[in-house]
Structure 1
Amino acid sequence: MPEHAANGTFVAARIERGWRTQEDFAEAYNATADTLNSKARISVRQVRRWESGQTSWPNRDARQVLTRMFGASLEHLGFVPPAGKATRLGGAADFKPDLEDHVLRRTFVGGLLAAPLLDLAALEHLASAVRDARRYADQELVEHLRGALDETARTDVLIGPHRAMPAALGILSAINSAARDAKPEIRRQLLGLGSRAAELAAWLHRDAGSPHQAITYWHNQSKEWATFTGDGAMHAYVLLRQAQALGRHDPARILDLADAATSGPWILPPRPRAEALQQKARGLAMTGAGEDEIERVLEEAHAALDQAAETYGPVTCTGPLGDGYTRDRLMVQSGICWREAKRPDKAVAVFRAHLTDRAFGPRDHAHYSAFLAGALAEASEPDEAAAVALGALKVAAPPRYGQVITELHRSVRILFPHRDRPAVRELHERLLMIAAG
């Protein structure tokens, strides 16, 4: 009989957050320790000790880092404190769990997922969405929900995923309920709309920092409904979004997903096809392909955009797939590709030429500015990198745009050798304040 009980809860939490191997986790732990100015470092051996239960309660420094990484108490990660000892943040003050530890939970879509909500007002959003759906019939219901979904996507852009999430989940609940008894053609339209709503829900969960399991669930739901309605282009588009959701984890799978989106038994419209080809180029860069091969795929992306029709009017969540994908967006994403190819100088040049206030709204400008900051840091321009990052953080902090903030944390880790410079120190301190809040 083993002397120690394995900590399966910790293993599951690690995998859910995208750290699929103990090596991945140790690397992420040490990077987080850098952002906290902690001298504590771990090896894979220490991860094994935690997961095997050989170490049932981490030391003070490790508790601080683990709390930051997971946003949860150590008990929630399966660790057992010594008798009479409560979880403490860095050993200095009683840990106050993240908002997600206090949220309401409710089951949607046949009871398959307990989706996190935010507060009582969020619950009212859901009840309102279902009540409103009952006031409409057939085509009128479809149009009502379509308008609500477009408004939810605009809410996300303006004030962030945390405020848009309840409405998106409410719309999904209403669609799932109404589709059960709808006439065949109305059911088909509802499920088609539901595929768009589920893809948006996956995006919102990703930007809100939800576990990867939740993001995957909504991507799978979106693909299922796209399959029911025969929408091959939507199925392919979700493959692209799945590749993007992996961030920098599992480059080989990123490449596989992007390749499937562009070469599977479906035809993507020109704009999302261009985006999928760009993502394929990024996957190639991450897996060590040569610059000529990356350039060739990026040229294919530009050729796809050449075939796209002009867009008129505002871009909406329920409009043509990828309607907002422009030449400037392709170019700045190409900058990300060159950064992954270890050409930060080339990436910086591309960003500077195409990342403008005219081409991008505040949220997208902040998003790509975070990548520019990292490229500048890698190109040995720490002061400019910190200045760009602070500008992005100013936009991203109030609505809590999670992907922007995550990328800025990555930039801070790169800038760690320059932490004594005023702008770098200010960036570090502001990110710590956001994390603590």
Structure 2
Amino acid sequence: MPEHAVANWRIVAARVERGWHTQEEFAAAYEDKARELREQARISVRQVRRWESGESTWPNRDARRVLEAMFDCSMEDLGFRRPARPTGRRPGGSGRQMEEHVQRRAFPGLAGVVPVLDLTALEHLTAAAHGARRHGERELLGHLRTELDDAARSDGLSGPHEALPTVLGILAAINSAARTAGEDLRCELLALGARGAELAAWLHRDAGAPAQAVAYWHHQAKEWATFTGDGAMHAYVLLRQAQATERTDAARMLDLARAATTGPWTLPPRPRAEALQQEARALALTSAGADQVTRVLDRAHAALDQADPAIGPATCTGPLGDGYTRQRLMMQSAICYREAGQSELAVSLFREYLTTKVFAPRDRAFFTAQYSGALVAAGEPDEAATTACEALALAAGARFGQALAELHRTADVLAPYARRPAVREFRQRLGELTAA
């Protein structure tokens, strides 16, 4: 079967939830239920594999009766697709129809929005949910917190496609456990879920999912933060929404960034500094003067000065925004100055602070891509192309989406220099990666 065949993860999740952790166990349970119902239907492990891979999309009548009795739900709820009646239309759309069907089953309300999980991703998702089931209430929270931190680190190193299935599995486990947990544990689970949902929003954005998917997870994060009375987390999601807003909608970006710092909540110093930096970038995009941008950045530095020293490496579930450091603020300040037309100042900041080794591969790729664009604006097309090739080497393997988007922006502004060897080489490499 092809490596990226569409998988029916609904039936996999359903059987694992009921304790049939292998296809062999499920086949044996099916046989028992068939005998109980006096059905003649028999299946093999191979048939189970065909159902779970999506290769077999609608069981026969006898098998449907057994499955409905085993799971107490409809075939559609198990991810099976009822055969469509002939319409007289030309063939050719079945692949996309199957994709949309799986999306509807996997992510209610997000049909056509979320990328379909392949079989490898499915394994990560079910492993995360299954791993959570093996822990008692006292251990569950710690297990999920560790898994979420590991997934966030994986994103920084290997990109969103590696981390996303695990995060979705963790969120599924949180959502399930919170329904039956006591009040105190439920509150802690939902607080952790808000962190995870915010991470899921970022991962979807970096993976290239449409804006609706990103907005869905931002909304979920804010909902859970509201349930737990975590105003700071609510504000932090507003900041992340501002960061996810396109450059072409600078007014909305500005409103979101300001709301994060002026609403009925108090952001800790580090995320407050980050929100002020985002406000400065939005101001630059609205053609505010460089002096105004600098004043807001000065406020960001002042907020960061109030932060307690970080203890140990930053984690997804640690103090809110604890990974926001002076080096990161300087890199994002350079981006603000680039947007404000202060390209030489931006280049100077990039040159000074990109030499540090504090950034994960994802962040280094993104900041290097931004650096390449600033170099074009500063009149250095050859150095810009060389720098862009460095960023591409960092971003290509893991498919860091935001870095690649910035490199396409650099390629566009390098178009007038297309005949220069360095520029031609970069644009060719980027084109080959896009085609692949």
TM-score interval, normalised by the smaller of the two chains: 0.7 to 0.9
1:243-322 equivalent positions in 2, closer than 5 A: 243-322=242-321
1:243-280 deviations in Å (ceiling 9; x for gaps): 10113130000000000001111000000000000000
1:51 corresponds in structure 2 to none
1:416-427 equivalent positions in 2, closer than 5 A: 416-427=415-426
Q: Is the 8 A contact 1:262 1:277 kept in 2?
A: yes
| Amino acid corresponding to residue 318 of structure 1 in structure 2 | T
Following TM superposition, by how much is the alpha carbon of 1:134 offset from its aligned partner in structure 2, in angstroms? 1.8
Deviates more, 1:136-145 or 1:410-419: 136-145
2:356 corresponds in structure 1 to 357
1:105 corresponds in structure 2 to 103
- CA distance 1:123–1:359, shift in 2 (3 Å): closer
1:3-82 equivalent positions in 2, closer than 5 A: none
Following TM superposition, by how much is the alpha carbon of 1:362 offset from its aligned partner in structure 2, in angstroms? 2.7
- CA distance 1:341–1:105, shift in 2 (3 Å): same
How many Å separate the matches in 2 of 1:360 and 1:125?
26
- CA distance 1:103–1:154, shift in 2 (3 Å): farther
Q: Is the 8 A contact 1:273 1:304 kept in 2?
A: yes
| Amino acid corresponding to residue 105 of structure 1 in structure 2 | Q
Could you say what secondary structure the match of 2:247 adopts?
coil
Unaligned runs of 5+ in 2: 1-88
| Amino acid corresponding to residue 329 of structure 2 in structure 1 | L
- CA distance 1:404–1:314, shift in 2 (3 Å): same
1:163-205 deviations in Å (ceiling 9; x for gaps): 1111011111111111000000100011001001100100000
Could you say what secondary structure the match of 2:297 adopts?
helix
| Amino acid corresponding to residue 419 of structure 2 in structure 1 | D
How many Å separate the matches in 2 of 1:101 and 1:329?
39
Q: Is the 8 A contact 2:103 2:110 kept in 1?
A: no
Q: Is the 8 A contact 2:160 2:204 kept in 1?
A: yes
- 2:155 counterpart of 1:156: yes
Q: Is the 8 A contact 2:99 2:116 kept in 1?
A: no
How many Å separate the matches in 1 of 2:361 and 2:126?
32
How many Å separate the matches in 1 of 2:290 and 2:350?
18
2:199 corresponds in structure 1 to 200
| Amino acid corresponding to residue 213 of structure 2 in structure 1 | A
Following TM superposition, by how much is the alpha carbon of 1:426 offset from its aligned partner in structure 2, in angstroms? 1.0
How many Å separate the matches in 1 of 2:177 and 2:105?
16
Q: Is the 8 A contact 1:108 1:173 kept in 2?
A: no
- CA distance 1:380–1:205, shift in 2 (3 Å): same
Unaligned runs of 5+ in 1: 1-82, 88-96
How many Å separate the matches in 2 of 1:130 and 1:412?
42
How many Å separate the matches in 2 of 1:177 and 1:219?
19
How many Å separate the matches in 2 of 1:354 and 1:159?
23
1:76-225 equivalent positions in 2, closer than 5 A: 105=103, 107=105, 111-114=108-111, 115-225=114-224
1:196-255 deviations in Å (ceiling 9; x for gaps): 110010000000000000000000100000000011111101101001011313000000
Deviates more, 1:135-144 or 1:196-205: 135-144
How many Å separate the matches in 1 of 2:331 and 2:101?
37
Following TM superposition, by how much is the alpha carbon of 1:344 offset from its aligned partner in structure 2, in angstroms? 1.1
How many Å separate the matches in 1 of 2:248 and 2:169?
31
Q: Is the 8 A contact 1:103 1:119 kept in 2?
A: no
Q: TM-score, normalised by structure 2?
A: 0.75
Q: Is the 8 A contact 1:106 1:116 kept in 2?
A: no
- 2:401 counterpart of 1:389: no
Q: TM-score, normalised by structure 1?
A: 0.75
Could you say what secondary structure the match of 2:147 adopts?
helix
- CA distance 1:139–1:112, shift in 2 (3 Å): farther
How many Å separate the matches in 2 of 1:261 and 1:380?
36
Q: Is the 8 A contact 1:386 1:424 kept in 2?
A: yes
2:238 corresponds in structure 1 to 239
1:405 corresponds in structure 2 to 404
Could you say what secondary structure the match of 1:116 adopts?
coil
Identity across matched positions, percent: 60
Structure exhibiting the larger radius of gyration computed from Cα positions: 2
- CA distance 1:119–1:128, shift in 2 (3 Å): same
| Amino acid corresponding to residue 327 of structure 1 in structure 2 | R
Following TM superposition, by how much is the alpha carbon of 1:125 offset from its aligned partner in structure 2, in angstroms? 2.1
How many Å separate the matches in 2 of 1:406 and 1:319?
29
- CA distance 1:144–1:85, shift in 2 (3 Å): closer
How many Å separate the matches in 2 of 1:103 and 1:302?
49
Following TM superposition, by how much is the alpha carbon of 1:136 offset from its aligned partner in structure 2, in angstroms? 1.6
How many Å separate the matches in 1 of 2:192 and 2:109?
19
Q: Is the 8 A contact 2:156 2:360 kept in 1?
A: no
2:341 corresponds in structure 1 to 342
